[in-house]
Structure 1
Amino acid sequence: MSDESHEPLKRLFFALDCAPAQRKAIAQWRGDLQLRSGRPVPAENFHLTLMFLGAVGVARIAEICTAAAKVRKPGMPVRVVLDRLEVWRRAGVLVLAPDQAPPELLRLVYSLEQAMLPFRMEDAPKEFRPHLTLMRDYRMPVPESGTPPEFFLRAEYFTLFESHKGRYRALAQWLLGPS
Structure 2
Amino acid sequence: MKKRMFIALDIVDTNKVKIAQWREQYLPLPFKTIDRQNFHITLAFLGCIAPQQQASVVQLISQQHGFIQQHLKPLIQQNKTSSIVLSQLGYFKKAQVLHLMPASCPDWLIYLQRTVVELSLSSNIALENNRYQPHLSLYRKAKTPLPALCKHLQQSVFKQQLSITSFSLYHSYSTALGVRYEPVQTWEINF
CA contact (8 A) 2:53 2:124 kept: no
Query: Could you tell me which amino acid in structure 1 is paired with residue 36 of structure 2?
Result: A
Displacement of 1:31: 0.7
2:181 to 150, 163, 168: 168
1:26 to 1, 19, 43: 19
CA contact (8 A) 1:11 1:163 kept: yes
Partner Cα separation in structure 1 for residue 14 and residue 60 of structure 2: 31
Indicate whether 1:108 and 2:112 are aligned.
Answer: yes
Normalised by the size of structure 1, how large is the TM-score?
Answer: 0.87
| 1:81 to 1:36, Cα distance in 2 relative to 1, 3 A | closer
2:156 to 147, 152, 164: 147
Which residue in the other structure is 1:138 paired with?
142
Q: Structure 2, unaligned stretches of length 5 or more?
A: none
Which residue in the other structure is 1:88 paired with?
92
Which residue in the other structure is 2:49 paired with?
56
- Which structure shows the higher helix fraction? 2
Normalised by the size of structure 2, how large is the TM-score?
Answer: 0.82
CA contact (8 A) 1:37 1:139 kept: no
Partner Cα separation in structure 2 for residue 158 and residue 123 of structure 1: 18
CA contact (8 A) 1:53 1:120 kept: no
Q: Structure 1, unaligned stretches of length 5 or more?
A: 1-7
2:60 to 67, 72, 78: 67
